[in-house]
Structure 1
Amino acid sequence: MIAKYRTIPMEILIYEAITRRLPDHHPRKPEFLSKLNRWKAGYKGEKEVDYYLSLFPDDDLTIFQYLRLPHHNGHFQIDTLIVSAWFIAVIESKNLAGTIELDPELDQLLQNSEGVEKAYSNPILQAEIQSSHLAKLLLKHQLPLPPIEVFVTISNPQTIIKNPAHNKEVTHRLCRAARIPFKISTLKAKQNKEKLTKKDIKKVTRLLLKLHEPFIPDPKSLDNPQDLITGVQCPHCSVFRMERIHGTWLCKNCGKTSRDAHKAAVKDYFLLYGPVLTNIQLRKFLHINSEDTVTRILHSMDLLITGTTKNRTYSPPKDFFS
């Protein structure tokens, strides 16, 4: 059973909006395209685990596809969490190209791709830290604590994985994404006593869903460029040259029309400038002079409304970007 489905990270949506509205020859466009590609690669790695687990459906498993849970004054994130009657499994996903070698003694993962060597933190240690935080959270809420196993998956099938020291921990915990269902099945087969009742699992599920806090990044913290193109993008030719004429958007580049091309632009505004929008701000962004026209647009999108007529603001509702 999947208790929580994975959604596209907000960072991907933000970087897509930035790269979409940056002029092609802007000096910072390669920088933001690189950030976007890194986030997409990570998300793809997590989706690979989802895919392979879906090929082996198991009613005895409760799966959470990404959790962000409170810890002291901050949060910790788990890419994939599996809760069963016998154990809990924390899965950290990596999507790295080239050749990788994990050295648990020095707590580093070395990657060599196209002749460039990079060092990353030990993902097994990372998963162990997450499992420690999770254990404290469950105990804090007086829930039983089964054994917690951690795994790190590599989603790119062309990645060469090396373990020259034949470290047993690396062999056990690091695997291809396609191997993870078999790892879970092996864990189940080794258990002879249930640690969590069905009632316990329901309590754990309710708690984790209640405490999950999706990350909403502040666009300002992402160092957004100042030269973004405003206006409404044509869904046919992708040029930002649409004008509002009698309730319809007309593209001055290709001549085609759209009734709702503004919806993507409103989403872009929230992604680029934050979750609060006023009528005058949207008029400027959409290149519309009429206050009444923008009011109709805003009300048609079922946004959250705060304040009176003069100082009214609009915000995206839950799942607005799904």
Structure 2
Amino acid sequence: MIAKYRTIPMEILIYEAITRRLPDHHPRKPEFLSKLNRWKAGYKGEKEVDYFLSLFPDDDLTIFQYLRLPHQNGHFQIDTLIISNWFIAIIESKNLAGTIEVDPELDQLLQNFDGSEKAYSNPILQAEIQRSHLAKWLLKHQLPLPPIEIFVTISNPQTIIKNPAHHKEVAHRICRAARIPFRISTLKLKHTTEKLTKKDVKKVTRLLLKHHEPFIPDPPSFHIPLDLITGVQCPHCQTFRMERIHGTWLCQKCGKTAREAHKTAVKDYFLLYSPILSNIHLRNFLHINSEDTATRILHSMNLLINGTTKNRTYSPPKDFFS
């Protein structure tokens, strides 16, 4: 059973909005394109795990596709969490190309790709930290603590995984994404004592969903350039030369129209500038002059309305970016 489905990370949406509105020859465009590609690769790796688990549906398993739970003064994130009556499994997903080698003694992952070597954090250690945080979270909420197993999946089938020192921990914890259903099946043979009743599983599921806190972007933390292109982008020729004429948007370059071209622009504003939007801010961003037109656009998008008519502001509802 899927208790929570995966959605596109907000970071991807933000970097897409930045790269969409940066001029082609902007000096920082390659930087943001690189960040966008890294986040997309990570998301693709997580979706691969979702896919392979879906090929082996199991009514005894409750699956959470991404969780973000409060911990002390911050949060901890889990790519995939599996709950059963006998154990809990945490899956950390990686999507790296080239050749990788995990060294648990030095707590690092080395990647060789296109003739260059990069060092990353040990993903097994990352999963162990998540396990520790989750165990504390369960105890804090007076929930039973079953065995918590951890795995790291490598989604790119062309990636070469090396374990020259033959570390048993590496061989056991790291596997291809396609292997993960079989690793979960092995856990069923290993853990045969029921630690969570059906009632317990339902309670844990309910509390996890209740305490999940989606990431809310803080635009300044992304160091967004100030010289982004404003306006409405034409969905046909991709230029930002659309004008609002008689209830639709007309592209001044290709001549085509699009009635709802403003929707992406409004989302871009929330992602790049602020979770609060006023009528005048919308007019300035979309390059429209009519206050009434801006009001009609804002009301058509079913946004949350705050304040009185004079000082009214709008904000995105839950799942607005899904």
Under TM normalisation by the shorter chain, which class is it?
over 0.9
1:152-301 → structure 2 map (5 Å cutoff): 152-301=152-301
SS in 2 for 1:118: strand
Whole-Å Cα distance in 2 between the matches of residues 21 and 70 of structure 1?
A: 33
Q: CA deviation at 1:309?
A: 1.6
Residue identity opposite 1:260 in structure 2: E
Residue identity opposite 1:91 in structure 2: I
Kindly provide the CA deviation profile for residues 77-99 of structure 1, in whole angstroms up to 9, marking residues without a partner as x: 00000000110001100111111
RMSD: 0.7
- Look up the match of 2:132: 132
- Look up the match of 2:104: 104
- Look up the match of 2:39: 39
SS in 2 for 1:194: coil
**Where do 5+ consecutive residues of structure 1 fail to align?**
none
> Structure 1 vs Structure 2: percent identity of aligned residues?
87
- Look up the match of 1:15: 15
TM-score, scaled relative to structure 2:
0.99
Residue identity opposite 2:80 in structure 1: T
Whole-Å Cα distance in 2 between the matches of residues 191 and 284 of structure 1?
A: 61
Q: CA deviation at 1:142?
A: 1.0
Whole-Å Cα distance in 2 between the matches of residues 192 and 23 of structure 1?
A: 59
Q: CA deviation at 1:141?
A: 1.1
Count of residues in correspondence between the two structures: 322
Kindly provide the CA deviation profile for residues 207-244 of structure 1, in whole angstroms up to 9, marking residues without a partner as x: 11011000112011100011111111111111111111
Whole-Å Cα distance in 1 between the matches of residues 269 and 43 of structure 2?
A: 23
Whole-Å Cα distance in 2 between the matches of residues 193 and 262 of structure 1?
A: 56
Whole-Å Cα distance in 1 between the matches of residues 35 and 213 of structure 2?
A: 23
- Look up the match of 2:150: 150
Conserved 8 A contact 2:217-2:271: no
Whole-Å Cα distance in 2 between the matches of residues 190 and 130 of structure 1?
A: 21
Residue identity opposite 1:166 in structure 2: H
Whole-Å Cα distance in 2 between the matches of residues 248 and 42 of structure 1?
A: 37
SS in 1 for 2:225: coil
Conserved 8 A contact 2:154-2:176: yes
Whole-Å Cα distance in 1 between the matches of residues 303 and 286 of structure 2?
A: 17
Runs of 4+ that moved beyond 6 A: none
SS in 1 for 2:231: coil
Conserved 8 A contact 2:102-2:108: yes
Q: CA deviation at 1:190?
A: 2.4
Q: CA deviation at 1:192?
A: 2.3
